[in-house]
Chains A and B, each alone.
Chain A
Protein backbone atom coordinates (compact mmCIF):
# COMPACT_ATOMS: atom_id res chain seq x y z
CA UNK A 1 0.00 0.00 0.00
CA UNK A 2 2.94 2.30 0.66
CA UNK A 3 5.98 2.35 -1.58
CA UNK A 4 8.71 4.96 -1.22
CA UNK A 5 11.83 5.02 -3.32
CA UNK A 6 14.80 7.33 -2.82
CA UNK A 7 12.68 9.88 -0.98
CA UNK A 8 14.47 13.08 -0.08
CA UNK A 9 12.94 16.03 1.72
CA UNK A 10 14.01 19.26 3.33
CA UNK A 11 12.28 21.12 6.11
CA UNK A 12 13.16 24.67 7.16
CA UNK A 13 16.21 24.56 4.92
CA UNK A 14 17.82 21.43 6.28
CA UNK A 15 17.66 18.03 4.66
CA UNK A 16 15.59 15.75 6.88
CA UNK A 17 15.18 12.72 4.59
CA UNK A 18 18.17 11.58 2.53
CA UNK A 19 17.07 8.72 0.32
CA UNK A 20 14.44 6.56 1.98
CA UNK A 21 13.24 3.24 0.53
CA UNK A 22 10.25 1.79 2.32
CA UNK A 23 7.36 -0.53 1.56
CA UNK A 24 4.35 -1.37 3.68
CA UNK A 25 1.85 -3.99 2.54
CA UNK A 26 -1.87 -4.14 3.27
CA UNK A 27 -2.47 -5.69 6.67
CA UNK A 28 1.09 -5.02 7.75
CA UNK A 29 2.20 -2.89 10.70
CA UNK A 30 5.58 -1.25 10.30
CA UNK A 31 7.09 0.84 13.07
CA UNK A 32 9.53 3.69 12.54
CA UNK A 33 12.03 3.98 15.36
CA UNK A 34 15.09 6.12 15.81
CA UNK A 35 16.41 9.03 17.86
CA UNK A 36 14.84 12.48 17.93
CA UNK A 37 15.33 14.28 14.65
CA UNK A 38 15.93 11.05 12.71
CA UNK A 39 13.21 11.99 10.22
CA UNK A 40 10.35 9.73 11.39
CA UNK A 41 7.73 12.46 11.52
CA UNK A 42 8.99 13.96 8.26
CA UNK A 43 8.60 10.64 6.49
CA UNK A 44 5.05 10.27 7.80
CA UNK A 45 4.25 13.81 6.65
CA UNK A 46 5.63 13.12 3.17
CA UNK A 47 3.44 10.03 2.86
CA UNK A 48 0.43 12.00 4.11
CA UNK A 49 1.10 14.67 1.50
CA UNK A 50 1.85 17.33 4.10
CA UNK A 51 5.51 17.76 3.19
CA UNK A 52 7.00 17.99 -0.28
CA UNK A 53 9.74 15.53 -1.30
CA UNK A 54 11.70 14.25 -4.26
CA UNK A 55 11.86 10.59 -5.25
CA UNK A 56 8.96 8.22 -5.80
CA UNK A 57 6.06 8.02 -3.38
CA UNK A 58 3.10 5.76 -4.04
CA UNK A 59 0.28 5.35 -1.54
CA UNK A 60 -2.56 3.11 -2.65
CA UNK A 61 -1.91 4.03 -6.29
CA UNK A 62 -1.69 7.79 -5.63
CA UNK A 63 1.26 10.09 -5.43
CA UNK A 64 0.34 12.25 -2.45
CA UNK A 65 2.29 15.18 -3.91
CA UNK A 66 0.28 15.40 -7.16
CA UNK A 67 -3.01 13.62 -6.51
CA UNK A 68 -6.05 15.63 -5.46
CA UNK A 69 -6.37 16.30 -1.74
CA UNK A 70 -9.57 14.28 -1.74
CA UNK A 71 -7.91 11.25 -3.34
CA UNK A 72 -5.13 11.34 -0.76
CA UNK A 73 -7.52 11.89 2.13
CA UNK A 74 -9.60 8.87 1.14
CA UNK A 75 -6.43 6.75 1.00
CA UNK A 76 -4.37 7.90 3.97
CA UNK A 77 -5.45 8.92 7.45
CA UNK A 78 -2.76 10.69 9.46
CA UNK A 79 -2.69 11.12 13.22
CA UNK A 80 -0.02 13.71 14.04
CA UNK A 81 1.82 13.60 17.34
CA UNK A 82 0.19 16.79 18.60
CA UNK A 83 -3.12 17.25 16.78
CA UNK A 84 -4.73 20.68 16.99
CA UNK A 85 -7.80 20.31 19.17
CA UNK A 86 -10.56 22.77 18.30
CA UNK A 87 -11.84 24.60 21.33
CA UNK A 88 -15.33 23.67 22.42
CA UNK A 89 -15.82 20.89 19.86
CA UNK A 90 -17.60 17.71 20.88
CA UNK A 91 -16.13 14.23 20.41
CA UNK A 92 -18.81 13.47 17.84
CA UNK A 93 -18.20 16.57 15.76
CA UNK A 94 -14.46 16.00 15.92
CA UNK A 95 -14.73 12.38 14.75
CA UNK A 96 -17.20 13.47 12.07
CA UNK A 97 -14.46 15.67 10.56
CA UNK A 98 -13.04 12.40 9.27
CA UNK A 99 -15.87 12.37 6.71
CA UNK A 100 -14.64 15.66 5.22
CA UNK A 101 -13.02 14.12 2.11
CA UNK A 102 -16.37 12.58 1.14
CA UNK A 103 -18.35 15.84 1.26
CA UNK A 104 -18.48 18.59 -1.36
CA UNK A 105 -17.60 22.19 -0.52
CA UNK A 106 -21.21 23.30 -0.16
CA UNK A 107 -22.42 19.95 1.15
CA UNK A 108 -23.34 18.70 4.59
CA UNK A 109 -22.86 15.30 6.18
CA UNK A 110 -25.28 12.61 5.06
CA UNK A 111 -27.02 10.20 7.41
CA UNK A 112 -24.48 7.61 6.23
CA UNK A 113 -21.64 9.84 7.46
CA UNK A 114 -23.36 10.14 10.82
CA UNK A 115 -23.93 6.39 10.94
CA UNK A 116 -20.28 5.59 10.17
CA UNK A 117 -19.11 8.03 12.83
CA UNK A 118 -21.36 6.36 15.39
CA UNK A 119 -20.07 2.93 14.46
CA UNK A 120 -16.46 4.02 14.86
CA UNK A 121 -17.11 5.75 18.17
CA UNK A 122 -18.80 2.58 19.32
CA UNK A 123 -15.80 0.56 18.15
CA UNK A 124 -13.32 2.70 20.11
CA UNK A 125 -15.64 2.67 23.08
CA UNK A 126 -16.33 6.40 22.97
CA UNK A 127 -20.01 6.46 22.00
CA UNK A 128 -21.18 7.31 25.50
CA UNK A 129 -18.85 10.33 25.47
CA UNK A 130 -19.96 11.52 22.03
CA UNK A 131 -21.48 14.73 23.44
CA UNK A 132 -18.54 15.63 25.64
CA UNK A 133 -16.19 18.45 24.68
CA UNK A 134 -12.65 17.46 23.72
CA UNK A 135 -11.22 19.70 26.45
CA UNK A 136 -13.01 17.64 29.09
CA UNK A 137 -11.53 14.25 28.15
CA UNK A 138 -8.80 12.30 29.92
CA UNK A 139 -5.63 11.50 27.99
CA UNK A 140 -6.79 8.01 27.05
CA UNK A 141 -10.22 9.18 25.95
CA UNK A 142 -8.68 11.97 23.90
CA UNK A 143 -6.33 9.59 22.11
CA UNK A 144 -9.27 7.36 21.26
CA UNK A 145 -11.24 10.35 19.96
CA UNK A 146 -8.31 11.29 17.73
CA UNK A 147 -7.99 7.72 16.51
CA UNK A 148 -11.73 7.70 15.85
CA UNK A 149 -11.40 10.68 13.50
CA UNK A 150 -8.73 8.83 11.51
CA UNK A 151 -10.82 5.63 11.36
CA UNK A 152 -13.90 7.56 10.27
CA UNK A 153 -11.90 8.50 7.16
CA UNK A 154 -12.13 4.80 6.21
CA UNK A 155 -8.76 4.74 4.50
CA UNK A 156 -6.70 1.63 3.72
CA UNK A 157 -3.58 3.33 5.10
CA UNK A 158 -3.16 4.58 8.66
CA UNK A 159 -0.22 6.78 9.69
CA UNK A 160 0.37 7.33 13.38
CA UNK A 161 3.00 9.61 14.90
CA UNK A 162 3.67 8.49 18.47
CA UNK A 163 0.07 7.40 19.04
CA UNK A 164 0.58 6.50 22.68
CA UNK A 165 3.31 8.87 23.86
CA UNK A 166 1.02 10.63 26.33
CA UNK A 167 -0.72 7.57 27.73
CA UNK A 168 -0.25 5.42 30.81
CA UNK A 169 0.46 1.74 30.15
CA UNK A 170 -3.16 0.72 30.59
CA UNK A 171 -4.38 3.14 27.97
CA UNK A 172 -1.36 2.41 25.76
CA UNK A 173 -2.31 -1.23 25.68
CA UNK A 174 -5.96 -0.44 25.01
CA UNK A 175 -5.21 1.86 22.06
CA UNK A 176 -2.51 -0.37 20.54
CA UNK A 177 -4.61 -3.53 20.84
CA UNK A 178 -7.42 -1.69 19.13
CA UNK A 179 -5.22 -0.61 16.23
CA UNK A 180 -3.89 -4.15 15.97
CA UNK A 181 -7.40 -5.62 15.84
CA UNK A 182 -8.53 -3.13 13.24
CA UNK A 183 -5.60 -3.68 10.92
CA UNK A 184 -6.25 -7.44 10.96
CA UNK A 185 -9.98 -6.94 10.61
CA UNK A 186 -9.80 -4.44 7.75
CA UNK A 187 -6.40 -5.27 6.29
CA UNK A 188 -5.07 -1.79 7.05
CA UNK A 189 -1.50 -0.86 6.25
CA UNK A 190 -0.22 0.80 9.42
CA UNK A 191 2.93 2.88 9.64
CA UNK A 192 3.68 4.40 13.01
CA UNK A 193 6.52 6.18 14.75
CA UNK A 194 7.45 4.96 18.22
CA UNK A 195 9.85 6.02 20.92
CA UNK A 196 9.10 3.02 23.11
CA UNK A 197 11.13 0.23 21.57
CA UNK A 198 9.53 -2.54 23.61
CA UNK A 199 6.10 -1.48 22.44
CA UNK A 200 7.32 -1.12 18.85
CA UNK A 201 8.79 -4.61 18.90
CA UNK A 202 5.65 -6.08 20.38
CA UNK A 203 3.09 -4.67 17.99
CA UNK A 204 4.86 -4.15 14.67
CA UNK A 205 5.65 -6.86 12.14
CA UNK A 206 8.69 -4.97 11.04
CA UNK A 207 10.86 -2.23 12.50
CA UNK A 208 12.59 0.47 10.50
CA UNK A 209 15.40 2.18 12.39
CA UNK A 210 15.98 5.69 11.08
CA UNK A 211 18.95 7.91 11.85
CA UNK A 212 19.86 11.28 10.37
CA UNK A 213 17.41 10.97 7.50
CA UNK A 214 18.38 7.52 6.30
CA UNK A 215 17.30 3.98 7.14
CA UNK A 216 19.99 2.50 9.33
CA UNK A 217 18.42 -0.91 9.73
CA UNK A 218 15.16 -2.65 9.06
CA UNK A 219 13.66 -6.06 9.53
CA UNK A 220 11.98 -8.18 12.17
CA UNK A 221 12.09 -6.85 15.72
CA UNK A 222 14.63 -9.46 16.80
CA UNK A 223 17.05 -8.29 14.11
CA UNK A 224 16.68 -4.54 14.67
CA UNK A 225 16.48 -4.45 18.45
CA UNK A 226 20.15 -5.22 18.84
CA UNK A 227 22.09 -3.63 21.72
CA UNK A 228 25.07 -2.50 19.65
CA UNK A 229 22.86 -1.16 16.86
CA UNK A 230 20.74 0.78 19.34
CA UNK A 231 23.85 2.04 21.08
CA UNK A 232 25.30 3.29 17.83
CA UNK A 233 22.22 5.27 16.81
CA UNK A 234 20.64 6.30 20.10
CA UNK A 235 23.86 6.56 22.10
CA UNK A 236 22.11 4.56 24.83
CA UNK A 237 23.32 1.53 26.76
CA UNK A 238 20.54 -1.04 26.76
CA UNK A 239 19.85 -4.63 27.62
CA UNK A 240 17.67 -6.54 25.19
CA UNK A 241 15.82 -9.27 27.07
CA UNK A 242 13.46 -11.96 25.89
CA UNK A 243 10.54 -12.90 28.10
CA UNK A 244 8.94 -16.33 28.37
CA UNK A 245 6.42 -15.53 25.60
CA UNK A 246 9.17 -14.63 23.16
CA UNK A 247 8.58 -10.88 23.50
CA UNK A 248 11.50 -8.51 23.39
CA UNK A 249 12.07 -6.09 26.24
CA UNK A 250 14.45 -3.20 25.75
CA UNK A 251 15.66 -1.99 29.11
CA UNK A 252 17.93 0.95 29.84
CA UNK A 253 21.14 0.11 31.67
CA UNK A 254 21.56 2.55 34.51
CA UNK A 255 24.78 4.51 34.56
CA UNK A 256 25.71 3.04 31.19
Chain B
Protein backbone atom coordinates (compact mmCIF):
# COMPACT_ATOMS: atom_id res chain seq x y z
CA UNK B 1 0.00 0.00 0.00
CA UNK B 2 1.37 3.37 -0.93
CA UNK B 3 1.04 6.23 1.51
CA UNK B 4 0.70 9.66 -0.09
CA UNK B 5 3.38 11.92 1.32
CA UNK B 6 4.30 15.48 0.49
CA UNK B 7 7.75 16.94 1.13
CA UNK B 8 8.31 18.60 4.48
CA UNK B 9 7.02 22.12 4.14
CA UNK B 10 5.56 24.94 6.14
CA UNK B 11 2.28 23.63 7.48
CA UNK B 12 -0.76 25.75 8.06
CA UNK B 13 -1.32 25.34 11.76
CA UNK B 14 2.15 26.36 13.02
CA UNK B 15 2.18 29.22 10.54
CA UNK B 16 -1.19 30.43 11.80
CA UNK B 17 -0.18 30.01 15.45
CA UNK B 18 3.02 32.05 15.10
CA UNK B 19 1.20 34.66 13.02
CA UNK B 20 -1.44 35.10 15.72
CA UNK B 21 1.41 35.34 18.25
CA UNK B 22 3.02 38.23 16.34
CA UNK B 23 -0.24 40.10 15.88
CA UNK B 24 -1.12 39.71 19.56
CA UNK B 25 2.34 40.83 20.65
CA UNK B 26 2.18 43.84 18.34
CA UNK B 27 -1.28 44.78 19.62
CA UNK B 28 -0.12 44.59 23.24
CA UNK B 29 3.01 46.56 22.38
CA UNK B 30 0.98 49.34 20.82
CA UNK B 31 -1.66 49.48 23.56
CA UNK B 32 0.57 49.50 26.66
CA UNK B 33 2.98 52.26 27.60
CA UNK B 34 3.60 55.01 30.13
CA UNK B 35 0.98 57.26 28.57
CA UNK B 36 -2.45 55.70 28.76
CA UNK B 37 -4.29 55.77 25.46
CA UNK B 38 -7.67 54.15 25.09
CA UNK B 39 -7.72 50.87 23.17
CA UNK B 40 -10.72 51.93 21.14
CA UNK B 41 -9.10 55.20 20.11
CA UNK B 42 -5.90 53.42 19.09
CA UNK B 43 -7.91 51.00 17.01
CA UNK B 44 -9.75 53.81 15.24
CA UNK B 45 -6.51 55.74 14.71
CA UNK B 46 -4.87 52.68 13.10
CA UNK B 47 -7.98 52.10 11.00
CA UNK B 48 -7.84 55.72 9.85
CA UNK B 49 -4.41 55.11 8.33
CA UNK B 50 -5.72 52.37 6.07
CA UNK B 51 -6.40 53.44 2.51
CA UNK B 52 -9.98 54.50 1.68
CA UNK B 53 -10.99 54.62 5.33
CA UNK B 54 -11.62 57.89 7.12
CA UNK B 55 -12.58 57.84 10.79
CA UNK B 56 -12.02 60.22 13.65
CA UNK B 57 -10.13 58.41 16.42
CA UNK B 58 -10.65 61.03 19.09
CA UNK B 59 -6.92 61.05 19.96
CA UNK B 60 -5.41 64.45 20.60
CA UNK B 61 -2.52 65.60 18.45
CA UNK B 62 -0.10 64.81 21.27
CA UNK B 63 -1.58 61.35 21.77
CA UNK B 64 -1.45 60.64 18.06
CA UNK B 65 2.21 61.65 18.08
CA UNK B 66 2.92 59.27 20.98
CA UNK B 67 1.28 56.50 18.99
CA UNK B 68 2.91 57.20 15.62
CA UNK B 69 6.30 58.50 16.67
CA UNK B 70 6.98 56.39 19.75
CA UNK B 71 4.90 53.24 20.15
CA UNK B 72 4.34 52.01 16.62
CA UNK B 73 7.92 52.55 15.39
CA UNK B 74 9.22 50.84 18.51
CA UNK B 75 6.99 47.83 18.00
CA UNK B 76 7.97 47.66 14.33
CA UNK B 77 11.66 48.00 15.20
CA UNK B 78 11.41 45.32 17.89
CA UNK B 79 9.63 43.02 15.48
CA UNK B 80 12.23 43.53 12.77
CA UNK B 81 15.20 43.03 15.10
CA UNK B 82 13.65 39.94 16.70
CA UNK B 83 12.75 38.46 13.32
CA UNK B 84 16.25 39.00 11.94
CA UNK B 85 18.06 37.65 15.01
CA UNK B 86 15.85 34.56 15.14
CA UNK B 87 15.97 33.68 11.44
CA UNK B 88 19.71 34.36 11.30
CA UNK B 89 20.28 32.18 14.35
CA UNK B 90 18.28 29.38 12.73
CA UNK B 91 20.25 29.77 9.49
CA UNK B 92 23.58 29.71 11.34
CA UNK B 93 22.53 26.56 13.20
CA UNK B 94 21.64 24.93 9.90
CA UNK B 95 24.72 25.93 8.01
CA UNK B 96 27.11 24.98 10.83
CA UNK B 97 25.04 21.99 11.98
CA UNK B 98 25.66 23.26 15.47
CA UNK B 99 22.79 23.80 17.91
CA UNK B 100 24.78 26.40 19.85
CA UNK B 101 25.42 28.60 16.82
CA UNK B 102 23.91 32.03 17.12
CA UNK B 103 24.10 34.96 14.72
CA UNK B 104 26.98 36.45 16.76
CA UNK B 105 29.10 33.31 16.20
CA UNK B 106 31.52 34.64 13.60
CA UNK B 107 32.31 37.90 15.34
CA UNK B 108 29.34 40.14 14.53
CA UNK B 109 28.88 41.11 18.17
CA UNK B 110 32.54 41.80 18.86
CA UNK B 111 32.96 43.76 15.63
CA UNK B 112 29.87 45.85 16.22
CA UNK B 113 30.96 46.40 19.82
CA UNK B 114 34.33 47.71 18.69
CA UNK B 115 32.76 49.99 16.09
CA UNK B 116 30.29 51.45 18.58
CA UNK B 117 32.95 51.83 21.28
CA UNK B 118 35.27 53.73 18.95
CA UNK B 119 32.51 56.25 18.21
CA UNK B 120 31.57 56.61 21.88
CA UNK B 121 35.19 56.92 23.04
CA UNK B 122 35.97 59.49 20.37
CA UNK B 123 33.11 61.57 21.73
CA UNK B 124 31.18 61.24 18.48
CA UNK B 125 27.49 61.96 18.16
CA UNK B 126 25.75 58.89 19.60
CA UNK B 127 22.24 59.86 18.57
CA UNK B 128 22.64 60.11 14.82
CA UNK B 129 23.68 57.80 12.06
CA UNK B 130 27.36 57.61 13.06
CA UNK B 131 26.98 55.01 15.83
CA UNK B 132 24.91 52.46 13.89
CA UNK B 133 27.09 52.96 10.82
CA UNK B 134 30.25 52.26 12.82
CA UNK B 135 28.68 49.24 14.52
CA UNK B 136 27.51 47.88 11.19
CA UNK B 137 30.93 48.36 9.61
CA UNK B 138 32.67 46.74 12.59
CA UNK B 139 30.34 43.73 12.44
CA UNK B 140 30.82 43.17 8.73
CA UNK B 141 34.60 43.62 8.95
CA UNK B 142 34.84 41.11 11.78
CA UNK B 143 32.95 38.44 9.83
CA UNK B 144 34.98 39.10 6.67
CA UNK B 145 38.19 38.69 8.71
CA UNK B 146 36.81 35.46 10.19
CA UNK B 147 36.02 34.11 6.74
CA UNK B 148 39.40 35.12 5.40
CA UNK B 149 41.15 33.47 8.35
CA UNK B 150 39.19 30.26 8.58
CA UNK B 151 37.09 29.84 5.49
CA UNK B 152 39.69 29.21 2.85
CA UNK B 153 42.56 26.86 2.26
CA UNK B 154 42.71 23.17 1.72
CA UNK B 155 41.08 21.95 4.87
CA UNK B 156 38.35 24.52 5.16
CA UNK B 157 35.22 23.37 6.90
CA UNK B 158 32.70 24.75 9.31
CA UNK B 159 34.79 23.78 12.36
CA UNK B 160 37.79 25.84 11.23
CA UNK B 161 35.45 28.73 10.49
CA UNK B 162 33.92 28.59 13.97
CA UNK B 163 37.39 28.47 15.55
CA UNK B 164 38.48 31.45 13.46
CA UNK B 165 35.33 33.23 14.67
CA UNK B 166 36.33 32.59 18.28
CA UNK B 167 39.81 34.02 17.65
CA UNK B 168 38.54 37.07 15.77
CA UNK B 169 35.86 37.77 18.39
CA UNK B 170 38.45 37.58 21.19
CA UNK B 171 40.76 39.93 19.34
CA UNK B 172 38.05 42.49 18.60
CA UNK B 173 36.74 42.28 22.16
CA UNK B 174 40.25 42.86 23.49
CA UNK B 175 40.58 45.96 21.33
CA UNK B 176 37.17 47.14 22.41
CA UNK B 177 37.94 46.64 26.11
CA UNK B 178 41.24 48.48 25.70
CA UNK B 179 39.51 51.47 24.11
CA UNK B 180 36.63 51.57 26.58
CA UNK B 181 38.77 51.27 29.74
CA UNK B 182 40.66 54.42 28.97
CA UNK B 183 37.75 56.54 30.09
CA UNK B 184 35.15 55.89 32.80
CA UNK B 185 32.44 57.80 30.94
CA UNK B 186 32.86 55.59 27.95
CA UNK B 187 32.49 52.41 29.98
CA UNK B 188 29.00 53.31 31.12
CA UNK B 189 27.77 54.27 27.70
CA UNK B 190 29.33 51.25 26.04
CA UNK B 191 27.69 48.92 28.54
CA UNK B 192 24.29 50.43 28.01
CA UNK B 193 24.81 49.86 24.27
CA UNK B 194 26.00 46.30 24.78
CA UNK B 195 22.97 45.38 26.88
CA UNK B 196 20.74 46.32 23.97
CA UNK B 197 18.03 48.88 23.66
CA UNK B 198 15.20 49.67 21.29
CA UNK B 199 14.90 53.29 22.38
CA UNK B 200 13.73 55.08 19.31
CA UNK B 201 11.87 58.20 18.43
CA UNK B 202 10.41 58.22 14.95
CA UNK B 203 11.17 55.94 12.10
CA UNK B 204 14.90 56.48 11.42
CA UNK B 205 16.07 53.16 12.85
CA UNK B 206 13.34 51.26 11.04
CA UNK B 207 14.33 52.95 7.79
CA UNK B 208 17.99 52.05 8.39
CA UNK B 209 17.27 48.42 9.14
CA UNK B 210 14.48 47.66 6.68
CA UNK B 211 16.42 47.23 3.39
CA UNK B 212 18.98 44.90 5.00
CA UNK B 213 16.26 42.98 6.78
CA UNK B 214 14.25 42.46 3.62
CA UNK B 215 17.24 41.42 1.51
CA UNK B 216 18.54 39.09 4.20
CA UNK B 217 15.17 37.44 4.79
CA UNK B 218 14.55 36.88 1.08
CA UNK B 219 17.91 35.13 0.60
CA UNK B 220 17.57 33.05 3.76
CA UNK B 221 14.02 31.92 2.99
CA UNK B 222 15.03 31.03 -0.56
CA UNK B 223 17.85 28.86 0.79
CA UNK B 224 15.87 26.94 3.36
CA UNK B 225 15.55 23.76 1.28
CA UNK B 226 19.34 23.69 0.92
CA UNK B 227 19.76 23.93 4.69
CA UNK B 228 17.88 20.62 4.88
CA UNK B 229 20.33 19.18 2.34
CA UNK B 230 23.29 20.39 4.43
CA UNK B 231 21.87 18.36 7.32
CA UNK B 232 23.58 15.31 5.76
CA UNK B 233 26.97 16.97 6.16
CA UNK B 234 29.20 18.81 3.72
CA UNK B 235 30.68 15.83 1.92
CA UNK B 236 27.36 14.11 1.29
CA UNK B 237 25.75 17.39 0.30
CA UNK B 238 28.52 17.75 -2.29
CA UNK B 239 27.77 14.30 -3.70
CA UNK B 240 24.12 15.38 -3.96
CA UNK B 241 25.18 18.20 -6.28
CA UNK B 242 25.20 21.00 -3.72
CA UNK B 243 28.32 23.11 -3.31
CA UNK B 244 28.16 23.21 0.45
CA UNK B 245 30.82 25.90 0.84
CA UNK B 246 28.97 28.17 -1.59
CA UNK B 247 25.66 27.73 0.22
CA UNK B 248 27.43 28.42 3.49
CA UNK B 249 28.97 31.61 2.14
CA UNK B 250 25.66 32.92 0.77
CA UNK B 251 23.70 32.06 3.91
CA UNK B 252 26.36 33.46 6.23
CA UNK B 253 26.60 36.64 4.15
CA UNK B 254 22.84 37.16 4.19
CA UNK B 255 22.48 36.40 7.90
CA UNK B 256 25.48 38.59 8.74
CA UNK B 257 24.21 41.63 6.85
CA UNK B 258 20.82 41.35 8.53
CA UNK B 259 22.31 40.77 11.97
CA UNK B 260 24.86 43.56 11.59
CA UNK B 261 22.09 46.00 10.67
CA UNK B 262 19.98 44.79 13.61
CA UNK B 263 22.89 45.08 16.04
CA UNK B 264 23.67 48.54 14.70
CA UNK B 265 20.26 49.90 15.68
CA UNK B 266 19.58 47.85 18.81
CA UNK B 267 22.88 46.85 20.40
CA UNK B 268 23.46 43.25 21.43
CA UNK B 269 20.36 41.33 22.39
CA UNK B 270 21.42 37.98 23.68
CA UNK B 271 19.58 34.70 23.47
CA UNK B 272 16.92 35.46 20.84
CA UNK B 273 18.94 33.83 18.05
CA UNK B 274 19.30 30.62 20.03
CA UNK B 275 16.09 30.11 21.98
CA UNK B 276 13.57 31.11 19.34
CA UNK B 277 14.77 28.67 16.64
CA UNK B 278 15.09 25.88 19.20
CA UNK B 279 11.64 26.50 20.60
CA UNK B 280 10.28 26.40 17.04
CA UNK B 281 12.21 23.21 16.30
CA UNK B 282 10.94 21.45 19.41
CA UNK B 283 7.35 22.54 18.86
CA UNK B 284 7.04 22.19 15.09
CA UNK B 285 9.70 19.79 13.77
CA UNK B 286 13.25 19.95 12.48
CA UNK B 287 12.93 20.82 8.80
CA UNK B 288 14.47 24.20 8.00
CA UNK B 289 11.67 24.75 5.53
CA UNK B 290 9.45 25.45 8.50
CA UNK B 291 12.06 26.50 11.08
CA UNK B 292 13.13 29.55 9.09
CA UNK B 293 9.76 31.20 8.42
CA UNK B 294 8.39 30.24 11.84
CA UNK B 295 11.49 31.59 13.61
CA UNK B 296 11.04 34.83 11.72
CA UNK B 297 7.51 35.26 13.06
CA UNK B 298 8.16 33.89 16.55
CA UNK B 299 11.29 36.01 16.93
CA UNK B 300 9.37 39.14 16.01
CA UNK B 301 6.62 38.40 18.52
CA UNK B 302 9.08 37.40 21.24
CA UNK B 303 11.13 40.57 21.04
CA UNK B 304 8.09 42.84 20.91
CA UNK B 305 6.83 41.21 24.12
CA UNK B 306 10.27 41.39 25.75
CA UNK B 307 10.46 45.07 24.89
CA UNK B 308 6.99 45.63 26.32
CA UNK B 309 8.22 44.20 29.63
CA UNK B 310 11.48 46.14 29.41
CA UNK B 311 9.68 49.47 29.20
CA UNK B 312 6.77 48.82 31.56
CA UNK B 313 8.16 46.84 34.52
CA UNK B 314 10.20 49.72 35.94
CA UNK B 315 8.14 52.45 34.26
CA UNK B 316 8.99 55.25 33.70
CA UNK B 317 12.52 53.74 33.81
CA UNK B 318 13.60 51.04 31.37
CA UNK B 319 15.30 47.71 31.76
CA UNK B 320 17.87 46.78 29.12
CA UNK B 321 16.04 44.49 26.74
CA UNK B 322 18.87 41.93 26.79
CA UNK B 323 18.18 41.44 30.49
CA UNK B 324 14.53 40.72 29.76
CA UNK B 325 15.18 38.31 26.89
CA UNK B 326 17.47 36.24 29.10
CA UNK B 327 15.32 36.54 32.23
CA UNK B 328 12.10 35.52 30.49
CA UNK B 329 13.64 33.45 27.73
CA UNK B 330 15.72 31.09 29.83
CA UNK B 331 12.91 29.66 32.03
CA UNK B 332 10.57 29.51 29.04
CA UNK B 333 13.22 27.60 27.13
CA UNK B 334 13.74 25.14 29.97
CA UNK B 335 10.00 24.41 30.00
CA UNK B 336 10.00 23.66 26.27
CA UNK B 337 13.18 21.61 26.60
CA UNK B 338 11.65 19.48 29.35
CA UNK B 339 8.49 18.97 27.34
CA UNK B 340 10.50 17.88 24.31
CA UNK B 341 12.56 15.46 26.41
CA UNK B 342 9.39 14.13 28.05
CA UNK B 343 7.89 13.51 24.63
CA UNK B 344 10.84 11.38 23.61
CA UNK B 345 10.50 8.92 26.44
Contact = CB atoms under 8 A, between A and B. Distances in A.
Contacts of B235: 45, 50, 80
A78 B241 CA distance: 11
A105 to B, nearest CB: 7
Interface residues of B, number: 29
A84 B7 contact: no
A72 B286 CA distance: 29
A247 interface: no
B188 interface: no
A92 to B, nearest CB: 4
Nearest to B222: A106
A97 B232 contact: yes
Contacts of A92: 5, 7
A97 B1 contact: no
A231 B276 CA distance: 59
B100 interface: no
Nearest to A70: B241
Nearest to A86: B231
Among B5, B228, B233, B236, the one with the most A-chain Cβ atoms within 10 Å of its Cβ is B5
Given A69-B241, A88-B285, A89-B231, A108 B225 contact: yes
Nearest to A71: B241
A107 B229 CA distance: 13
B335 interface: no
Contact of A84 (B5, B8, B9, B233): B233
Contacts of A48: 239
B242 interface: yes
Contact of B239 (A50, A93, A122): A50
Nearest to B223: A105
A92 B4 CA distance: 10
Interface string A68-90: 01101110111010011111111
B241 A131 contact: no
B3 interface: yes
Contacts of A122: 2
B95 to A, nearest CB: 14
B223 A84 contact: no
A101 B7 CA distance: 16
Contacts of A130: 3, 5
B232 A109 contact: no
Interface of B: 1-3, 5-9, 222-223, 225-226, 228-229, 231-233, 235-243, 285-287
A-B interface, 5 closest residue pairs, ranked by CB to CB distance from nearest: A73-B241, A101-B241, A88-B286, A86-B231, A84-B233
5 contacts: A48-B239, A77-B239, A88-B287, A114-B5, A127-B3
Given A93-B228, A96-B7, A108-B225, 19 more contacts: A73-B241, A78-B239, A80-B235, A86-B286, A88-B286, A89-B8, A89-B228, A89-B231, A93-B8, A97-B228, A100-B229, A100-B237, A105-B223, A108-B7, A108-B9, A118-B5, A128-B3, A131-B3, A153-B240
